[in-house]
Structure 1
């Protein structure tokens, strides 16, 4: 990554909002389909360019450019129509596969009856090998060559990421096997094309081009950058920002991570973002990762963050030997949604028991949970002026959905114990398919981290209160245990947690 050595205006950053730039058109591309044409006509034109590109043994750059330009011009329904066509019309040619399989079985059966003769007959063996090669070729979907040719185009890799983002959105609406197959194949190819060996690690600084800094502002997904002063602070003394870049997408990171150099693990994001002045870097003992953002939704499920995190840790260990603690201050995006759903289900279950009498009491008792401890329920009732004979879980639901509790010291104090306890349970116990239910927790745990500490009122922003009741979590990367923890989590789902969490939840066994 080449740095600009001349002073430059950053006025463009003043216009930056949380919206990435549109994909630029490739240089010297043929004229795309008429964007003023009716949607049906535009979609038909794009479909023709798709057919021309997929059907050719070696698609021409002009046809690929026309398809990509035309695809960009389509609205959401039009893009989805093209993706359905790509997945369905250019799938594996199963009729050919069946014919080849019948031939192969026939020849193989003859060889089984006369194995000695087959060894002597080089022609029969050669026929089998040819059929096997033919089968392998036939099992490739017809769109395979098209995707590979598009990847080789200037701007093609980013365009394929856009296609996959649209495909993931379509899968959210209709989870068809043929669409899943296309997504699986495209994801496999993207994993190959985006291998760590093909990516360059670059420290992003204030001296980088304004166009790059604008993208950092636009793509920051965890803690929005408020202004130029905030941006300069995050790139200045005591802070680091590193990005992974691919040569096919110059000037734009695929993913970037922000780091604070501190004396110890921070307990709130306010400490990190509003720490003025920062400590001297020579005094830093902790590298705190407080934000990691992907710039391409179409790369979802491709764990570039794992490799980025490990490379940044290695770089910091080499350049700053005094730093011995590598930890995160992470959001808990799914906690409040999980808790409110849990409360709603328990309230509904209690209402059914009340309506149906004792007939359901035994059957439903297995599903009843003590969400609140007796002392926690009492504290909530004392904090609310009008109880109205509501149960503790109803009170908790009312308080949390109003979000006004943050302004009341009395309510905040009453909520601290149950929310911290339930958050620890959510992080350390709630799982989906044997892995942590929270997406951020799953990311760090599969990378070999452990849950070190949960922090009350660590993110007092509107987003932080809405997502997690203001609670944030420190994940700790113990360098000597990273591989061990990653293996045990991937193998058995075991979540390593600090003894400090035992006051909130029983240790995992």
Structure 2
């Protein structure tokens, strides 16, 4: 594809690739939830063709059990292509078969453990070492049984994963399979499928080690097929047109992606960076304002978007390694930059606040939590009289936040009155609200476990519909201080400690 083709893409907002089922290196994931393929599909000529579930199942069995290398590639191709042609229900059925029928042989494990325990009981004093037997035969028996137990503890589907990983297009196909598994588990917690997903995740973490990933700086001179991926997969701030894309790759901006040799020409994850004099407080100035200084004058690298391109790699934290690599590279190339920060969304804030408002409304006066301070209630009531006519300030806040017209941002008085309570509650949300000991907000959890600290929350930082819906327009700067990254990350992971500046703690005196 040339730049003209990319321009057409920008107008149509298409997803990348229209893969043929026989080309594994051109796979695109079609989520299992949205699959409308049935056993009777239509081929490229408009003819009806049947997809044989039994044949795909048989090709999967062959790909797992086959020993001959010369025919293994053909079996893997048949399975991969056949799987992609299956309907949603058939994919789910096949994955359940894989999880249950190709799991561990527990009867074999039980028998081996009995042998092991029997051997241990017969050893002198229950302790076995080289001196237990003059010829070391007892110790050798232990080693042999331990080796057999380790082998038996490997599920049969490991062979399929291992073989696909070394097969052309196999790594991307594995990510497609895992995305399908995750979508099934969102609807139903199948224990065997959960075990398969966990096993696959650990394999992918190993195979996607930073040592095998190439850090690539993406520029306007890259092939249009790669730029197409940036347009399609940008998840935080969608690319609106070619001018926007060129600006993000131009002077005062950087874009870096991790590319795996098995998925060439397609970043698994990418990050967008703005070079600035000061840490931006609004996304508008990052996306639309032209840089007001020469790059050599920049003292701050602002990470304003990080996007994963593979749904099947969810939960595999490639972003942690990407951010650290980018910091090292930028620091090396531009020693004058000493501040590394983000301008990040707060995707869970409004949802959390609305849940608090509902809870307060349903509670009696004894247990009702005062979300708003008395002075905030009075100010909000006075400012909203003409707009809502509602007397209860909590209901006023609910109505303003749930209205998709966002009338309140058109009123300077309401914008001013809402700033204090919404900023205070946002600081509480980021600092104090936890789930299983980790930050409730997904983006906060991501950056905090990577070693960042909460630096500043910014009022009216994102006036887009998405920003107003997610967080009432509030965004947050996370700071990556090189000398504190490792310590911050470790303390957060081990104890749930959220590191933040005094400015953040100042919103909640005596609470944090």
Report if aligned partners of 2:345, 2:471 keep a CA contact under 8 Å in 1.
Answer: yes
Report if aligned partners of 2:62, 2:75 keep a CA contact under 8 Å in 1.
Answer: yes
Aligned residue for 2:266, secondary structure, equals coil
CA 18–450 in structure 1, closer or farther in 2 if over 3 Å, else same: farther
CA 440–58 in structure 1, closer or farther in 2 if over 3 Å, else same: farther
Report if aligned partners of 2:344, 2:443 keep a CA contact under 8 Å in 1.
Answer: yes
* 1:77-476 equivalences in 2 (<5 Å): 77-112=89-124, 118-349=132-363, 353=364, 365=366, 367-385=367-385, 390-402=391-403, 403-476=406-479
CA distance in 2, matches of 1:244, 1:45: 36
CA distance in 2, matches of 1:108, 1:13: 71
CA distance in 1, matches of 2:179, 2:270: 19
Matched, 1:21 2:17: yes
Q: Tell me by how many angstroms 1:434 deviates.
A: 1.1
**For 1:85-117, what per-residue CA distance to the aligned partner results, in whole angstroms no more than 9, with x for missing partners?**
111111111111111112222222222468799
Q: Tell me by how many angstroms 1:508 deviates.
A: 6.9
Report if aligned partners of 1:14, 1:227 keep a CA contact under 8 Å in 2.
Answer: no
Aligned residue for 2:350, secondary structure, equals helix
CA distance in 2, matches of 1:483, 1:431: 21
CA 340–22 in structure 1, closer or farther in 2 if over 3 Å, else same: farther
Report the TM-score, using the length of structure 2 for normalisation.
0.90
CA distance in 2, matches of 1:341, 1:28: 45
Aligned residue for 1:181, secondary structure, equals helix
User: 1:4: which partner in 2?
Assistant: none
Report if aligned partners of 2:255, 2:270 keep a CA contact under 8 Å in 1.
Answer: yes
What is the count of residue pairs matched by the alignment?
Answer: 486
CA 170–281 in structure 1, closer or farther in 2 if over 3 Å, else same: same
CA distance in 1, matches of 2:184, 2:314: 14
User: 1:53: which partner in 2?
Assistant: 63
Aligned residue for 2:264, secondary structure, equals coil
Unaligned runs of 5+ in 2: 26-38
Report the TM-score, using the length of structure 1 for normalisation.
0.90
Q: Tell me by how many angstroms 1:279 deviates.
A: 2.1
CA distance in 1, matches of 2:360, 2:112: 57
User: 1:356: which partner in 2?
Assistant: none
Q: Tell me by how many angstroms 1:496 deviates.
A: 1.3
Q: Tell me by how many angstroms 1:394 deviates.
A: 1.4
Unaligned runs of 5+ in 1: 1-6, 354-360
Q: Tell me by how many angstroms 1:21 deviates.
A: 3.0
CA distance in 1, matches of 2:76, 2:239: 37
CA distance in 2, matches of 1:39, 1:88: 30
